[in-house]
Amino acid sequence: MPQFLAEPIARLIDEFGKLPGIGPKTAQRLTFFLLRQPAGEALALADAIAEVKEKIIFCGRCFNLSATDPCHICASESRDRTRLCVVEEPLDILVLEKTGIYKGLYHVLHGSFSPMEGILEDDLKIAELVERVKQGGVDEVIVATNATVEGEATANLVRVRLRPFGIRITRLAQGLPIGSDLEYADDYTLSRALEGRREY
Ligand SMILES: [Zn+2]
């Protein structure tokens, strides 16, 4: 960072620059935007960051990010408990919930199987998924991992691990562009992919 910048400013630019999708120019723009804001508004951002880090935990059942354990989905009486939808990231739940057509429960793996990048089975919540299925009551697991190489490898691993339980395993794929992340799919495509899920 250039030396003519006051250290606190350089520090904030540096912090913004660590965020995904934020290049050096955007980091500078965001910093100078905040410097122009009234202190209260700028601090509201700092406060919101502090609050999520303080209050957000993992749901002990589905591993979604939540302020409560169990999360509001796991705790809901109106959800179909015979279905589990397996996703890579908590953000995927948000995307699927927006379609409004899925009424079952979820299970977040927190990543995808990618030995090349050092992400192995034990790094994912697969054993926890197997445990949930083992406890009974689940008739169908919908594997909604991304339509990427890693997402496919993850789906395959989940299938192999769940096969001994003789439940229905389906894969959400139809209509999703190959190589794409779930979070970029529009509601219509995702709804069709859910309805058209196939035996896996
Ligand atoms: Zn939950």
The predicted structure's pLDDT at residue 148: 87
**For the whole prediction, is pTM greater than 0.75?**
yes
160, part of any domain: yes
Q: Report the CATH number at residue 64.
A: 3.40.1360.10
Q: Which domain holds residue 17?
A: 7-55
CA of 82 relative to ligand 1 center, distance in Å = 14
**In terms of domains, do 48 and 84 share one?**
no
3-state secondary structure of 126: helix
CA of 37 relative to ligand 1 center, distance in Å = 37
**In terms of domains, do 48 and 75 share one?**
no
Task: Provide the residues around ligand 1 (an ion) whose CB is within 5 A.
Answer: 59, 61-62, 64, 70-71, 74
CA of 81 relative to ligand 1 center, distance in Å = 12
Q: Closest Cα partner for 64 from 105, 20, 31?
A: 105
Residues 6+ apart with CB under 8 A from 48: none
Reported as a single tens digit per residue, the pLDDT across 108-144 is 999 999 999 999 999 999 999 999 999 999 999 999 9
2, part of any domain: no
Other beta carbons within 10 Å of 91: 14
**In terms of domains, do 77 and 48 share one?**
no
* H-run or E-run covering 81: strand 80-87
Number of domains the chain is built from:
2
